[in-house]
Amino acid sequence: MVRPMIVAVVLAATSVAHAEPLQLDDAPADPDTAQRLSTIGSAIPLASIGIGTLVWLEGSNNAIRDLGMGIAIGGAVAGIVTPSLGELYSHHWLNGTMALRAGGLFVEFVGLVFASNSDVGDCADTTGPCHLHASTIGLLGGGAALYLGATVLDIVEAPSAARAWNRRHAVQVVPTALRTPTSTAPGLVLSARF
SS3 readout for 113-137: HHHCCCCCCCCCCCCCCCCCCHHHH
Q: Which residues contact 37 (CB under 8 A, 6 or more apart)?
A: 85, 86, 88, 89, 158
21 in a domain, yes or no? Answer: no
pLDDT at residue 21, rounded to an integer: 46
In a domain, 23, yes or no: no
Is 7 a domain residue? Answer: no
pLDDT at residue 8, rounded to an integer: 58
Among residues 61, 147, 67, the alpha carbon closest in space to that of 109 is found at 147
The number of domains in the chain is 1
> What pLDDT is recorded for position 177?
75
pTM of the complete model: 0.69
Distance from C-alpha of 6 to C-alpha of 171, rounded to nearest angstrom: 49
In a domain, 64, yes or no: yes
Q: What confidence score (pLDDT) does residue 9 get? A: 53
Per-residue pLDDT of the chain (194 residues; tens, 9 = 90+): 666 656 555 555 554 544 444 445 567 889 999 999 999 999 999 999 999 989 988 888 888 888 988 999 999 999 999 999 999 998 888 889 999 999 999 999 988 888 775 555 556 555 666 667 788 888 989 999 999 999 999 999 999 999 988 888 776 666 777 777 888 877 766 665 55
Cβ(72)–Cβ(47) below 8 Å: no
What is residue 19's predicted lDDT score, i.e. its pLDDT? 45
pLDDT of residue 2: 60
191 in any annotated domain: no
DSSP assignment of 62-123, as one string? HHHHHHHHHHHHHHHHHTTTGGGHHHHHTT----HHHHHHHHHHHHHHHHHHHHSSSSSSTT
Domain that holds residue 68: 28-123+130-169
Helices and strands, number each (H, E), in the chain: 6, 2
54 falls within a domain: yes
Confirm whether 12 is domain-assigned. Answer: no
Q: Would you say residue 17 lies in a domain?
A: no
